[in-house]
């Protein structure tokens, strides 16, 4: 894992540390901007659309103020 963000977030996830470095709300805002830009340029961007839905689900679950790693909780009710 050569990416600093992956190392930092992996350690936070394993420790159960959801203190905010980049909140779900912040990441969701950025996702929306990227989706909007992709739509304006007619770029095919299925991964960012999937991310947008995932972060929207996390915010709907009340996780908006928590760190972006809390998005994993969006999967807890998926069976």
For residue 2, give both structure tokens.
């050569």
For residue 53, give both structure tokens.
């839905």
Which tens digit of pLDDT belongs to each residue from 19-43? 899 999 999 999 999 999 999 999 9
| CATH number for position 28 | 1.10.1040.10
Which tens digit of pLDDT belongs to each residue from 10-21? 888 899 888 899
Backbone angles phi, psi at 73, to 5 degrees: -65, -15
- CA dist 32 → 28, 51, 60, 73 (Å): 6, 10, 15, 20
How far apart are alpha carbons 55 and 28 in whole angstroms? Answer: 6
Backbone angles phi, psi at 78, to 5 degrees: -80, 130
- Tally of domains within the chain: 1
Rounded to two decimals, what is the model's pTM?
Answer: 0.80
Owning domain of residue 51: 4-75
């Amino acid at each position: 894992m050569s990416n600093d963000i992956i190392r930092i977030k992996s350690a936070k996830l394993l420790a159960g540390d959801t203190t905010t470095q980049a909140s779900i709300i912040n990441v969701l805002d950025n996702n929306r901007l990227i989706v909007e830009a992709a739509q304006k340029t007619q770029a095919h961007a299925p991964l960012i659309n999937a991310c947008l839905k995932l972060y929207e689900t996390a915010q709907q679950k009340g996780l908006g103020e928590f760190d972006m790693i809390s998005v994993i909780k969006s999967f807890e009710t998926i069976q």
